[in-house]
Amino acid sequence: MVTCSAPIDRVFIVVGQLVVGYDGLEPRRDAVFIDRQPTAVRCVADGGYPAPDMTLHLAGRDATNAFSFSQRLQFADDDDDDDDMGGDRPPRELRRLRYITERRHDAIQLTVKDDGKTIDCVATVAGLTSNKTSASIVVHCEFLFTFPLIHSFIQKHL
């Protein structure tokens, strides 16, 4: 029996709308959060056969099961992934398929205690080396000043 497998092309982490970790290109960016503010986080693997398994560690904790899991098949040229032979797409019957595997959470809330830790995303195709990408977590404090507080401060210092 012959078993076929194919490696994962790339793994990346998206925080909000910004790609913060990418296993193939630099520069890596910090994953920036605001203290206790819900933020969308996605870990995405592009490629791999059979479709990869994916785990996610957030601030040193296994958060895999807190993230929803999805996989879909997509034509490899749907994002203008032209080949190097003149840029023409092959006939539709010869197009390649690839898996897009994702773990997603739409409202992660980190605190300043998580600052300096990492997000680690690992995608694995059975029988092949795992692909891992990481991003450093930066958590900013959010200071809220209400008008009565500002008014009181101004009266005391003027």
Residue 44 contacts residue 14 (beta carbons within 8 Å): yes
Distance CA 158, CA 148 (A): 15
Is 123 in contact with 52 (CB distance < 8 Å)?
Answer: yes
Strand, coil or helix: what is 55?
strand
Q: Determine the pLDDT at residue 29.
A: 76
The CA distances from residue 68 to 22, 26, 73, 108, in Å, are 20, 27, 17, 12
Query: pLDDT-based confidence at 49, cuts 50/70/90?
Result: confident
Burial class (CB in 10 A: 0-12, 13-18, 19+), 92: exposed
Taking only the tens place, the pLDDT of each residue in 7-18 is 888 888 888 877
Domain 6-157: give its CATH code.
2.60.40.10
Residue with tokens 């958590």: 139
**What is the phi-psi region of residue 127: left when phi exceeds 0, alpha when psi lies from -120 to 50, beta otherwise?**
left
pLDDT tens profile 35-48: 999 999 999 999 88
Check if the beta carbon of residue 19 is closer than 8 Å to that of residue 46.
Answer: no
Show me where the domains of the chain are located: 6-157
Structural tokens at position 11: 């793994």
| Global pTM value | 0.73
Strands 31-34 and 131-140: parallel
